[in-house]
């Protein structure tokens, strides 16, 4: 009986010691536990309550990007009419500003320079493809762009010949803008310009790229009727078109010429 009481007392003492030791550990580690609990609360507060970016929010951001260049923000002549005239010594600076603005994606500044440069007495050195692309960024339609081009080319006929227009056509062809290309071609007689073999080459290649094979055939027939020389690239385009439509006789004819 005495042994049983001794064993029970010993067991109780051990349990008490274990509990006391465990409590001591908990008390000593209370600061670490509090920091851990605070960290968990902070995590849930910062991350678990964030609103995910749903389709509506992404669409709103896209709308903001699209509206960055609105048509009403287009820098018209009214913007520059009260500004001081550009001195001839500043021509080069204006030309450099336009190039830098286009390369930096600042199309509004490109068109501000364009509006100023249209008033130059001496023809400026300007990239027509850059100006036209900047107008299109502001959603200007083809009639507006054509009026701008016609006025500029008519003012500086000796500086901007068909070679410069071909650069513009090449740029539009890369973007497959056949509508504006064709309208520019139709405008040429009004400013005393005429398509050359390079112009036809660009149009032929664009029509082939867009699989407008009938247009290739029509344009090639026009070149023959007007005795326009075929460049090597133009001839290759016509040959490839003939092969695409299984007209082997025409392909052989162009190959021989």
To 5 degrees, how large is the angle CA 149–CA 93–CA 89? 100
Contact 124, 155 (CB under 8 A): no
Higher pLDDT, 164 or 86: 164
Tokens of 91: 């021509």
Integer Cα distance of 238 and 109 in angstroms: 42
Residue 79 has pLDDT above 70, yes or no: no
Residue 68 has pLDDT above 60, yes or no: no
Tokens of 100: 């830098």
Please give the average per-residue pLDDT across 7-20, as a whole number.
56
Q: What is the pLDDT of residues 83-99, one digit of tens each?
A: 555 566 677 888 899 99
Tokens of 159: 């500086």
Q: Top-level CATH class of 196-257?
A: mainly alpha
Higher pLDDT, 48 or 245: 245
Q: What is the pLDDT of residues 214-242, one digit of tens each?
A: 999 999 999 999 999 999 999 999 999 99
Integer Cα distance of 135 and 129 in angstroms: 10
Residue 2 has pLDDT above 60, yes or no: no
Torsion, Cα of 133, 136, 138, 140 (10° steps): 140
Can you give the pLDDT at residue 247? 82
b/e string for 42-70 if b means 16 or more Cβ within 10 A? eeeeeeeeeeeeeeeeeeeeeeeeeeebe
Higher pLDDT, 198 or 31: 198
**Nearest Cα to Cα of residue 142 among 186, 107, 81:** 186
Backbone angles phi, psi at 157, to 5 degrees: -65, -30
Can you give the pLDDT at residue 31? 60
Higher pLDDT, 40 or 175: 175
Q: What is the pLDDT of residues 16-67, one digit of tens each?
A: 665 666 566 655 656 655 655 665 655 555 455 444 444 444 344 334 334 4
The pLDDT mean for the chain works out to 79
Residue 77 has pLDDT above 70, yes or no: no
Contact 119, 152 (CB under 8 A): no
Q: What is the pLDDT of residues 111-139, one digit of tens each?
A: 999 999 998 888 899 999 999 999 999 99
> What are the residue ranges of helices labelled H in 91-229?
91-103, 107-117, 128-137, 142-155, 162-174, 178-187, 197-209, 213-225
Integer Cα distance of 238 and 222 in angstroms: 13
**Nearest Cα to Cα of residue 165 among 181, 176, 143:** 181
DSSP type of residue 246: T
Can you give the pLDDT at residue 257? 65
Residue 3 has pLDDT above 50, yes or no: no
**Nearest Cα to Cα of residue 170 among 140, 144, 132:** 132
Can you give the pLDDT at residue 50? 44
Please give the average per-residue pLDDT across 245-256, as a whole number.
77
* Residue 20 CB-density burial (10 A; 0-12 exposed, 13-18 middle, 19+ buried): exposed
């Amino acid at each position: 009986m005495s042994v049983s009481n001794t064993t029970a007392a010993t067991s109780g003492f051990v349990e008490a010691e274990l509990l006391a030791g465990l409590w001591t550990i908990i008390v000593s580690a209370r600061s670490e536990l509090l920091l851990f609990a605070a960290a968990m609360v902070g995590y849930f507060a910062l991350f678990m309550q964030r609103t995910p970016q749903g389709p509506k929010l992404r669409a709103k951001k896209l709308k903001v990007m699209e509206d960055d260049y609105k048509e009403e923000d287009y820098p018209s002549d009214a913007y520059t009419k009260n500004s001081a005239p550009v001195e001839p010594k500043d021509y080069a600076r204006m030309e450099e500003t336009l190039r830098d603005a286009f390369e930096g994606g600042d199309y509004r500044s490109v068109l501000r320079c364009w509006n100023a440069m249209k008033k130059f007495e001496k023809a400026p050195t300007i990239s027509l493809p850059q100006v036209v692309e900047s107008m299109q960024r502001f959603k200007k339609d083809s009639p507006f762009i054509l009026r701008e081009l016609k006025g500029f080319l008519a003012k500086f006929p000796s500086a901007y010949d068909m070679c410069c227009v071909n650069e513009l056509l090449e740029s539009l062809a890369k973007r497959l803008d056949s509508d504006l290309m064709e309208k520019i071609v139709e405008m040429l007689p009004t400013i005393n310009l005429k398509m050359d073999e390079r112009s036809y080459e660009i149009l032929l290649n664009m029509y082939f790229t867009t699989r407008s094979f009938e247009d290739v055939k029509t344009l090639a027939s026009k070149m023959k009727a007007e005795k326009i020389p075929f460049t090597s690239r133009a001839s290759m385009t016509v040959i490839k078109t003939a092969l695409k439509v299984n007209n082997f006789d025409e392909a052989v004819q162009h190959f021989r010429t």
